[in-house]
Every structure is written in structure tokens, then in C-alpha cells.
Amino acid sequence: MEVPARVCPTPWQIRHATTESALLRARVVLTTQQRPLALTMPLRTLRAVLECTGSSRVLWSWLGGTPMEALSALLHEITRGLVAGFAAAPVAWALGVVAALLALLVLALRRRPPAQGEIGTVYLMSAAATRKAREIAEIDAFARRVNAASEEMKLQLRRFRTGHHTQVKIYIDHSNFITSWNDIVHRGERALEHDVDWHALPSVLLEEVAEWLKKQRRSPAAVLYRGMHVYGTLFEDEYFRLLETMLAHEQATPSKLPLPIRLRRETIDRWRQENAAHKWDLTNEIRNVAGCVMVPVYRRTPREDQLGRAQYTSGGIPIAPEKTLDTRIATDIIGDATFEVYDVALLVTEDSDFIPAVEFVQDMRGKQVIHVGFGGHSNELRSVCRHRIDLGKGNLYRRMQRRTGRADGTAKGKA
């Protein structure tokens, strides 16, 4: 007998399905008076059983409807149960909500790392500083090893070259050298014609270097000539015209001059001839020497309308400043040492401004600098150099002195 819809049948009223066309069957095990009963019911009979209770509606929606319908039914039943429970016991529900929030707070606090005390904080900071110091020490140690390896390689290259050749280069401060030359060779006379044999000067100095190297190494060594740089200062023609103008103002309108000038026209002519002789040496004589590079540096002539800002000598003569000669020489010495152009540098000057450059190439680049000059007295530049060649000792300068006029027979003092 088929059970009507919406009627809750008793277990004994459920009978076997008589139609095999019902695809969905449920196996229900019921226990009544300690007697199990296994029944197979059709879909309509199971639906009638499940709709007898509120919770069975959700299951029936899952069996006969879509998943969204089942979810909606589930939410509806949960909402109805919560509303009913809160209406029956609101205090209990409020306590339950508070307890749930406290439980969540406890779980959140357990997940947080424990707070560190002052000792723990200091310990962590000390550990971080120690780790950073260790990393820096490792980097410094690596840099020292690289530097040591580089120096060792350079030393091996020098040892490999030892006994083969030694590179030598000459640096000459022309104005300073000519002044010393005139003081020693010509007894202070300022000769218009310079009798320095620039072709013989390199060979004489190289022989002295080879002799010194032989004494140092106790074995002969070949010397390789890497060239000679000559740096000279020159006055522009405007400077002599300025002096002539000032001399004319001194005679006609002395009030136009900042200071009274003590100068004669013969002195101006003499200076002009000496400047022409220096210019000839730099631009003609020295340029023809093998391996020589001429570096002329012109002094800056003060402007006539700015004589009030110029510097003067005690005789009221304006000074033409020169500020790049020493810088060029020091730059070339350091640059050539960096690029391994020479092993030994010959510095021909008496200017102590080159002491920092000499100390750098000797201490940091492993080069040797030899001072070349006159006189046996010592100064700061000579004391920092590895060796010194005294041109006045044994009249060494005579081997580089020209006996006659200029090599091309040019007349004396001609520019």
C-alpha cells in the first residue's frame, strides 16, 4: 500500500517497492523493540519520512534539489535554531560569545613571539654587531689577500726583469735647472746662450744610473731609456710691452701706477733676450733630441687695467704668475709610475714641492727616484729620493756642456 505524501508512516507501514523503475533507493536500518529491520523504499516514501522533521528537509533538498537549494535550507535551519536558542537563554548565549572571543584572543597571543627583555634585546644587538664586524673583517681580509697577490705578481715581474733591463725616464724643470746651471757653471752670470748639450745629457745620466744599479745589485744590468720630459716657463710678449708701458707712466704720469717702479729699459731688453733664449731651447734645440718631449708653460700676464690687484716685487715690478708647471710634472711622474712606464725616475730640479709625488711613487708604486742637481748640501727633496747624482762632483757637468755655439750655428741670442 502506497503511503500518502506529507504523512509520517510507521516503520511497519514501509513496504518493499513494487516498481523497479525507481532508480534511487535507500537502505534504512531501523531498530524497533531490539529487532532490526532492513527496508528498501521508493523515493516518494523516503521523501514522506524525511519531511516529518525540520532537519530532514535539508537532506531531502540535497537528494531531490540543487546544491544551492540544500545550502539555503541549511542556513535557514541554523538561523532558526540560533534565534530560538537566544530567545530562550540570552545570557548563556552572550557568555558563549564572550568565551569564543577570549579563546580567539588566547590563540592570537600564543602565535606572537614572546617579548624580549632588556637583556635579550642587548644580546640580539650585540650578536648583530658582531656578525657585521665579522663580515667587514672578512671583506678586509679578502682585500688584503688580493693586494698581497697583486704585489707578489709585481715583484715576480720585477724579478723576471732583473738582469734584463731597467726602465729609466728623465723629468727636467727647465727654468730651475738653467738657473742652477748658470750659478755653478757660469759663476752666476746669466748667459744668453745656453751651452747645455741636450743630446749628451741623457747618455751621461744613464751611465750614472747604470753604475749605481751595478753597485746596488752587485751585477751588471741593462738600462732602457724611456725618454725625457722638459718643462719650461715662458713669458708672453705682452708682459714686456706692459713693463715698457709702466716705465713710460713712471716718467710721465707716476700717479697712474700703484707703486713706483725701479726699472730701466736696458733691463727689459735683457729679459726679453733671455726669454727668447729659453724659447729657442724649448721649441728648437730640445725638440730635436731623441725621445724628448717639450712642455712649454706660459706665465699669465697681468692686465693693464687691473694692476691694482696684481702682486709686485720689492722694485714695483708686477709678477706674472705660473701655477701649472709643478702640477704637470707631478702628474706625469705619478701617471707614468702607475702605468709602469719606468722603474727609475731622474728628477732634475731643486723644488721641494715634488716631495709628495716622490714619496707616493716610491712607497705606493715601488719605484725609485734619483735626484739630479748641483752641490753636496742636502735638502728635503734630496733626502726623500733613493739616490742623488751631483753634477758638480768630478766636474760631471762638463760631459754635457757644449763647447761651441748652437749645434746648427745659429747666431747668439737670436730667437
pLDDT tens, position by position, 146-179: 988 888 887 776 666 555 678 899 999 988 898 8
What does the pLDDT read at residue 206?
Answer: 92
Are residue 155 and residue 226 in the same domain, yes or no? no
Q: Quick one: pLDDT at residue 28?
A: 40
Question: Does 76 lie in the same domain as 141?
Answer: no
Confidence of residue 121 (pLDDT cuts 50, 70, 90): confident
For residue 218, give the C-alpha cell. Answer: 752587485
Asked if 248 and 354 sit in the same domain, the reply is yes
Residue type, 1: M
Mean of pLDDT values over 254-262: 81
Q: Are residues 196 and 329 in the same domain?
A: yes
For the ranges 67-71, 86-90, 105-109, 239-243, the one whose mean pLDDT is highest: 239-243
- Tell me what the mean pLDDT of segment 247-255 comes to: 83
Please state which of the ranges 13-27, 119-133, 211-225, 374-388 shows the lowest mean pLDDT.
13-27
In a domain, 128, yes or no: yes
**Is residue 383 in some structural domain?**
yes
For the cut 60, the answer to whether the pLDDT of residue 235 exceeds it is yes
Q: What is the per-residue pLDDT for 251? A: 82
Do 194 and 85 lie in one domain? The reply is no
pLDDT of residue 113: 57
Q: Is residue 116 part of a domain?
A: no
| pLDDT higher than 80, residue 356 | yes
Check residue 118 and give its pLDDT: 74
| Confidence at 264, pLDDT banded by 50, 70, 90 | confident
**299, amino acid identity:** R
Q: Are residues 287 and 189 in the same domain?
A: yes
Q: Which residues contact 4 (CB under 8 A, 6 or more apart)?
A: 48
Determine, yes or no, domain membership for 412.
Answer: no
Mean pLDDT of all residues in 6-22: 42
For residue 36, what is its C-alpha cell?
Answer: 532490526
Surface-to-core class of residue 283, CB atoms within 10 Å of its CB (0-12 exposed, 13-18 middle, 19+ buried): middle
Residues 147 and 251 in one domain: no
Start-to-end CA span in the chain (Å): 146
The fraction of the chain above a pLDDT of 70, given in percent, is: 73
Query: What phi and psi values does residue 313 have, to the nearest 5 degrees?
Result: -80, 175
Is the same domain home to 143 and 212?
no
Residue whose C-alpha is closest to residue 278's, from 348, 182, 369, 184: 182
Between 403 and 60, the more confident residue is: 403
Is residue 112, in this structure, part of any structural domain at all?
A: no
Nearest to residue 277, comparing CAs of 181, 203, 371? 181
Number of domains within the chain? 3
- In this prediction, residue 402 carries a pLDDT of 83
> What are the backbone angles phi and psi of residue 288, rounded to the nearest 5°?
-85, 0
pLDDT at position 346 over 70: yes
Q: Across residues 34-49, what is the average pLDDT?
A: 44
Are 47 and 146 part of one and the same domain? no
| Residue 345 confidence (pLDDT) | 95
Between vectors from CA 344 to CA 339 and to CA 348, what angle results, nearest 5°?
A: 110
Q: Which of 33-42, 201-210, 243-252 has the lowest mean pLDDT?
A: 33-42
Last residue of a domain, one of 82, 106, 130: 106
In contact, 372 and 177? CB cutoff 8 Å: no
CA dihedral 328, 194, 188, 345 (to 10 degrees): 40
For the segment 29-37, the average pLDDT, to the nearest whole number, is: 39
Mean pLDDT, residues 36-60: 47
Query: Percent of the chain at pLDDT above 90?
Result: 19
Q: Both 142 and 169 in a single domain? A: no
Please give the residue range of the domain that contains residue 77.
11-106
Give the list of residues 6+ apart from residue 188 with CB closer than 8 angstroms, or none. Answer: 182
User: What confidence tier does 344 reach under pLDDT thresholds 50, 70, 90?
Assistant: very high
Pairing of strands 344-348, 166-173: parallel
Q: How far is it, in rounded angstroms, from Cα 159 to Cα 154?
A: 9
Shared-domain flag, residues 224 and 266: yes
Indicate whether 100 pLDDT > 80: yes
Residue 85 cell numbers, joined? 536558542
Mean pLDDT of the chain: 76
| Range in 38-52, 79-93, 227-241, 337-351 the model is least confident about | 38-52
**CATH number of domain containing 342:** 3.40.50.1010
Residue 154 lies in a domain: yes
Q: Where are any strands of DSSP class E within 34-190?
A: 35-41, 166-173
Beta carbons within 10 angstroms of residue 261's beta carbon: 18
216 — pLDDT class (breaks 50, 70, 90): confident
Residues 220 and 314 in one domain: yes
**Cβ(248)–Cβ(264) below 8 Å:** no
Nearest to 59 by CA among 49, 17, 29: 49
**Do the domain assignments include residue 271?**
yes
State mean pLDDT over 6-23. Answer: 41
> Which of residues 287 and 334 earns the better pLDDT score?
334
What's the mean pLDDT in 211-222?
A: 73
Return the DSSP state at 290. T
The yes-or-no verdict on residue 34 having pLDDT over 50 is no
Q: How far apart are CA 69 and CA 87, in angstroms?
A: 27
The total of other beta-carbon atoms located within 10 Å of residue 367's CB is 24
Give a yes or no: residue 343 inside a domain: yes
Over 50: is that where the pLDDT of 309 sits? yes
